[in-house]
Amino acid sequence: MRGVESVLLPCQVPADVSRSSTSAVWDCEEFRNPTVHLRLQSNDDLSGQNDRYTNRTSMFTDALQTGDLSLTLRNPIVSDSGTYCCIALRFGDRLCQTEVQLKVSVPPPVWPKVLSAVLLGTLIILAAAFGLFVCRAYVRMEKRSEALQQEVVEAPQGEESVLLPFKPTADLPQDVTVEWTHNNRKVHVYESGNNQPDKQDQGYRGRTEMKEDPLRTKDLSLTLKHLHLTDSGVYTCTIKKDGHMLLQKSVALSVTVPQPEKMEVAGVRTVQLPFKTTADLPQDVTVEWRHSDYNYMKVHVNERGKNKPDKQDQGYRGHTNMKKKEIKNKDLSLTLKDLHLTDSGVYTCTVYNKDGHMLLQKSVTLYFKDAEMQMVVTQGLKFVMLPFKIPHDLPHDVTVEWKHNYVTVYKYIDVNVDSQHQDYRGRTEMNKDALKTKDLTLEPKIVKVTEGEESVLLVFKTTADLPQDVTVEWTHNNMQVHVYESGNNQPDKQNQSYRGRTEMKKDPLNTKDLSSGVYSEHSLTRNTGTGTMKTFL
């Protein structure tokens, strides 16, 4: 196979399996980085691809919708030989797996360049004859290899027709059979000087065409009309005589869909996901909108021009709408109402004909402009407020959760704090009337005391089991307020102005109560500020 332009590694999985997948990956475990190609629902992700395959691989853009996960490998070389694994994944779990063995070989030498001069004349003649046989066999193999080279043809969705080219140079007998196939289905048959529609698969009748007298003109190209997205795949043209194959060629067809359209919204409760097409659609099509980020759940279904709420996911009932006469007007846009932040993600609209073939598809990525905010703060600040004000009323039974790197900073449940990470306890708070005021800003927790108070407790309770040899240090304005080390308080290590004024409970590491009491001296106004507790392991 060495020297061919490309090779197709086949992988077919059931369409319902691929649609529920979040990704499909081709691996070759023989390399340190096994990733050959990674396909997501909406696009390729080649950031982790092995460098040896850069710009040499491709998959059909609708692979995870059709189930055809085949991989095209361009310019194969000998070192590409090995076992390739095609895996359909759902959030990292393997749904199915297919292994393909690829062997890329170099042509064998035709015959040694120099024959021994001592061979007898008869042996020389026999050797020369055998060499001629090997040479002819190799030439025939090369011709067949040329025929098997794969040509890639792309056609945008909605295109009326596409040409699958095949123009052989060899003179062909007039009594051969020409057969185009796709996924073991007969696409077109030409035999005995005529097309044979009764021998082709039902789904292709009336959709294929070959030029007149193709054998005489040596043009066996096939025109495929009324394209479906599921027409993507490898088409093979085979020329046979008396059951024996004379010539063969494969053409890879990719019916392409547009890249996902991006929509950014802010402060709205309703949004329209656009999908307007120029293609003429039959009136008996099915239109399905799905949310790719949530196990491809059905957001909206329209059959024969009628919405079908009983076929959509329960969470979207009453929240979606499509215009009347949308098919006639070629407007398949979807209105999504009562927006939530969790409605962000990739929405895919697929149009099927009555036989279940995909005709059109479009994806729209929806995200909320205010969902993320960047703040730049100066090093050394005592505290920072994280603002979040909302324009809408929220139910009173909601949970508000602030997180940092997946760690819970603050959790608001009916004005209670719950499940907060130990590092943030006693350091954060939200307004008690946050839901009423629509202000979910996260504020630093400040201990307020009245001047003249005898003492104040700086609270820090942890749920973590700490080793007995840690150092606990309370600081204020870079001054050591209190130090606990080796099972004892260390007054000699604290700042002079705090000696005799601080206290921690007995056995704080076992009780997990690292709170510190600070007793007043003269005036509390000179001691206001932010205290920080550090635990050194």
Closest listed residue to residue 446, CA positions, set 497, 382, 499? 382
Render pLDDT for 367-378 as a digit per residue (tens, 0 to 9).
877 555 555 655
* Total-model pTM: 0.48
The pLDDT value recorded for residue 445 is 63
Higher pLDDT residue, 451 or 208?
Answer: 208
Residue 407 to residue 100: CA distance in whole angstroms: 43
pLDDT at 198 (0 to 100): 94
Domains of the chain: 6-102 (2.60.40.10), 149-256 (2.60.40.10), 261-370 (2.60.40.10), 455-536 (2.60.40.10)
Q: What is the average per-residue pLDDT within 31-55?
A: 88
pLDDT of residue 3: 54
Strands, E, within 462-521: which ranges? Answer: 471-476, 479-485, 488-489, 502-504, 516-519
Confidence of residue 537 (pLDDT cuts 50, 70, 90): very low
Q: Please check the confidence at residue 364 and state whether its pLDDT lies above 60.
A: yes
pLDDT of residue 390: 64
Please tell me the predicted confidence (pLDDT) of residue 426: 65
Higher pLDDT, 345 or 116: 345
List pLDDT tens digits, range 262-297: 888 877 889 999 998 877 788 888 999 988 665 668
Model confidence pLDDT, tens digit, residues 511-533: 888 887 776 543 333 334 444 44
Share of the chain above pLDDT 90, in %: 19
Secondary structure (3-state) at 198? helix
Q: Please, which residues have CB within 8 angstroms of residue 48's CB and are 6 or more apart in sequence?
A: 33, 35, 38
pLDDT of residue 100: 86
Pairing of strands 161-164, 150-156: unpaired
pLDDT (0 to 100) of residue 452: 67
Backbone dihedral angles phi then psi of residue 532, each to the nearest 5 degrees: -125, 135
Asked if 183 contacts 39 with a C-beta cutoff of 8 angstroms, the reply is: no
Nearest to 326 by CA among 367, 295, 360: 360
User: 465 near 425, Cβ under 8 Å?
Assistant: no
| Whether the Cβ atoms of residue 514 and residue 422 lie closer than 8 Å to each other | no
Characterize 69-103 residue by residue with b for buried, 16 or more Cβ atoms within 10 angstroms of its Cβ, and e for exposed.
bbbbbeebeeebbeebbbbbbeeeeebbebebeee
Average pLDDT over residues 61-84: 88
DSSP 109: P
Cβ–Cβ under 8 Å, residues 297 and 345: no
Pairing relationship of beta strands 208-209 and 150-156 according to DSSP bridges: unpaired
Residue with tokens 């950014």: 264
Question: So what's the pLDDT on residue 463?
Answer: 67
Predicted confidence at residue 377, as pLDDT, reads 58
Please enumerate in sequence order all residues whose Cβ is within 8 A of that of 448, keeping only pairs 6 or more positions apart, or say none.
Answer: none
User: Where residue 336 falls among pLDDT bands split at 50, 70, 90?
Assistant: very high
- Alpha-carbon distance 489 to 485, whole Å? 6
Stretch among 263-272, 276-285, 397-406, 414-423 having the lowest mean pLDDT: 414-423
Residue 4: its pLDDT value, please? 66
How far is residue 166's CA from residue 398's CA, in Å, rounded to a whole number? 64
- Cα separation of 10 and 59, whole Å? 11
- For residues 416-444, give the mean pLDDT: 67
Q: Give every CB contact of residue 95 below 8 A, 6+ residues apart in sequence.
A: 13, 17, 20, 21, 88, 89
The two three-digit tokens of residue 110, written as one number: 């035709």
